[in-house]
Amino acid sequence: MNYQHKILAAGHWQDFSLIEQMANIGSEVERTIKWRQKNSPENSNAALIRALELLTLTIDDPKNIHRLKEITRVREILLDYFLGDNIFKSSDKIWQNYFNFFAYAARVKK
């Protein structure tokens, strides 16, 4: 696979806690939303691809094996929201609220 985050894909991603991983994914989701609101589909899609790449790295991280159900569900619903029919009735605000928790927790941890 041709990763955008080459250093993270080489193993550095596993150095982050799950909370830090999810906070970083949330940053890319936030960029996806912002670019979409600015009517910039190329930038929005690029940010979504980066978010999905980080989600894949998170799924592949052995320490997250007990959280795979939630992580894979996040991927499923993100794809539905941004590329599908939004059958789960997501919104920008729901995604921002979901990932803001991780950003806050990651900041508090430091």
Phi-psi map region of 91: left, alpha, beta (phi>0 left; psi -120 to 50 alpha): beta
- CA dist., res. 49 & res. 47, Å (int): 5
Q: What angle do CA 89, 91, 95 make, to 5 degrees?
A: 115
* pLDDT of res. 51: 97
Q: Is 9 exposed, middle or buried (0-12, 13-18, 19+ CB in 10 A)?
A: middle
Mean per-residue pLDDT for 13-33?
Answer: 96
Is pLDDT above 80 for 109?
no
Q: Do residues 77 and 90 touch, judged by C-beta distance below 8 A?
A: yes
In this prediction the pTM is: 0.91
Express each pLDDT in 52-105 by its tens digit: 999 999 999 999 999 999 999 999 999 999 999 999 999 999 999 999 999 999
Average pLDDT, the chain: 92
